[in-house]
Amino acid sequence: MRSIIRKFLLTFIAVPLGVGFLTAQPLETEYPKPKVMTLEDCLTYAIQNNPDLQRVQLDEVAAEYKVKEVKASGLPQVNASAGYTDNFSLPTQLLPGELLGEPGTTVPVQFGVRHGLSAGVEVSQLLFNKSFFTGLKAAEASRGLYRLNTLKTKEDLVYNIAQIYLQLQITDKQKEILTANLDRVNQLIDISQAQFEEGLVKKVDVDQLKVNSTNLRTEIQNLEIGYTQQQSLLKFYMGMPVQEQIEVSGLQDIANQYQLADDLSQEFNTTLRILEKQQELRTFELQNIKDGYFPTLNAFASYNWQGQTNKLFSKENPMNSFGAGMWGLSLQVPIFDGFSKKAKSQQVHVSQLQLKLDIRNAANLNRMEFHNATEQLRQSQTLISQQEKNMELAEELYDITKLSYQEGIAPLTELLNAETSLKEAQTQYLTATLQKKLAELDHLKTSGELVRLIETSTANK
């Protein structure tokens, strides 16, 4: 992931700073100094610690074991057995006395010996089962499905973290703007207070400025609350403990912006690829049902040993033992199953039709999202240019009005209106910047470029 973050996402996600934002001193805090994290740091941490990603990666591991399980059924199966029997009360059978030279009577006779030992080994080998080979192909194909699920989870994770990271940066710039505005208002309060003491302005003017100062402080506090909530959400996606203190790195002006894709590449759309892989697995499932009409051939061999004696470990009563072995072939031919396989195949066929509709719908949705992201990006670029000029004009108007107010030419209301217009222009510019960057992020995802970069980064590890 490191190369994709460094080469692409960091260059694309940064917000340009060449707009003359006024800087201000950060508010003091009682918390320990937080760890500053770049987007690269956040993504790297998330790839290593996000529970959802770890879960789907374990699905990949389980899929490998599933393939081994299917392969194992085609290997020789060997079973051994052993047993011991203590016939402490032998069965008695009445026999005609004629057999023993006592005609006209019945003689009770006990059969067998008290102790019996047995041991055996049995070997079987699958020779032909068409379902086995189809099942093996399906198990191997399922690897691709789990890899796609992991890729989809990575894509969503990168997208969500980049989105929150960007929002945190914009919130930080909003706080910086409001803090700068607060500094300007506080300076005006000092000037107006001095003018009031000299009788040049009314007390109501000073009070109005103090009200504006309080309102700005409230806005800053609300931004700080929102910033903390956004940080908590970022930590959630990263798999980081919420009590961990972090801070996103400062914005940087990067000249070489990322070149977005010109066309839609649906072959990189993870949702479509997952649906297509599911369709492939349905084909194997249908083939497996049809394979049930073919016979199954197995080879087997076994050898068993038995030992019998009335007394164990006795020289006077030696163990009587003998063995028996056999080998052969077993053929099972399906003849009639009550149309069970036919019903199962029809169910799979219906599932295939549903998947085709899902694929068509997902493709249309992807095209719509790509179109919307492209259009939003085009409009945002125009809007940013307009808002940047509007903000510069508002700054110029504010400076002129402020000078006129200090000279006693303009009333306080005009200065407050100019200050409000400047703040709105700055806010609108940041909003347009956020919308543009979110549109770029959506464009990167919907075009398939984000997935392509993730796969390229993974392949180069």
- pLDDT digit of tens for each residue in the chain (461 aa)? 555 445 445 444 444 433 333 333 333 444 457 788 888 899 999 999 999 999 999 999 999 999 999 999 999 999 999 999 988 888 888 888 877 777 878 888 878 888 899 999 999 999 999 999 999 999 999 999 999 999 999 999 999 999 999 999 889 889 988 998 899 889 888 888 888 888 777 888 888 889 989 999 999 999 999 999 999 999 999 999 998 888 887 654 333 345 677 778 888 899 999 999 999 999 999 999 999 999 999 999 999 999 888 888 777 777 888 999 999 999 999 999 999 999 999 999 999 999 999 999 999 999 999 999 999 888 888 898 899 999 999 999 988 988 888 777 888 888 888 888 998 999 899 888 888 888 889 999 999 888 988 888 776 66
Q: Which pLDDT belongs to residue 254?
A: 37
- Cα 183 to its chain centre, rounded Å, is 44
321 and 306 Cβ atoms separated by less than 8 Å? yes
Report the distance separating Cα 153 and Cα 57, nearest Å. 10
Report the distance separating Cα 401 and Cα 416, nearest Å. 9
Q: Which pLDDT belongs to residue 155?
A: 94
Find the DSSP H helices in 113-255.
Answer: 130-197, 203-238
CA dihedral 196, 198, 199, 201 (to 10 degrees): -40
What b-and-e string marks burial along 344-362, b requiring 16 or more CB atoms within 10 Å of the CB? bbeebeeeeeebeebbeeb
Q: Which pLDDT belongs to residue 320?
A: 84
β-sheet bridge partners, residue 83 = 118
127 and 145 Cβ atoms separated by less than 8 Å? no
Run of H or E residues at 80: strand 77-86
Q: Which amino acid is at 322?
A: F
Report the distance separating Cα 258 and Cα 242, nearest Å. 32
* C-beta atoms surrounding 410 within 10 Å: 17
- Cα 128 to its chain centre, rounded Å, is 40
Q: Which pLDDT belongs to residue 240?
A: 93
Q: Which pLDDT belongs to residue 255?
A: 34
Helix (H, G, I), strand (E, B) or coil at 304: strand
Between CA 346 and CA 351, with CA 349 as vertex, the angle to 5 degrees is 115
CA 289, 291, 297, 298 torsion: positive or negative? negative
Q: Read off the pTM.
A: 0.80
Q: Which pLDDT belongs to residue 72?
A: 94
* C-beta atoms surrounding 6 within 10 Å: 14
β-sheet bridge partners, residue 37 = 248
Q: Which CATH superfamily is domain 2-76+130-309+336-459 in?
A: Outer membrane efflux proteins (OEP) (1.20.1600.10)
Q: Which pLDDT belongs to residue 52?
A: 94
Which of 430, 435, 461, 437 has its CA nearest to residue 181? Answer: 430
* C-beta atoms surrounding 364 within 10 Å: 10
162 and 316 Cβ atoms separated by less than 8 Å? no
Q: Which amino acid is at 240?
A: M
Q: Which pLDDT belongs to residue 3?
A: 53
Helix (H, G, I), strand (E, B) or coil at 434: helix
Token match 């403990």: residue?
241
Q: Which pLDDT belongs to residue 51?
A: 95
Q: Which pLDDT belongs to residue 411?
A: 84
Q: Which pLDDT belongs to residue 127?
A: 94
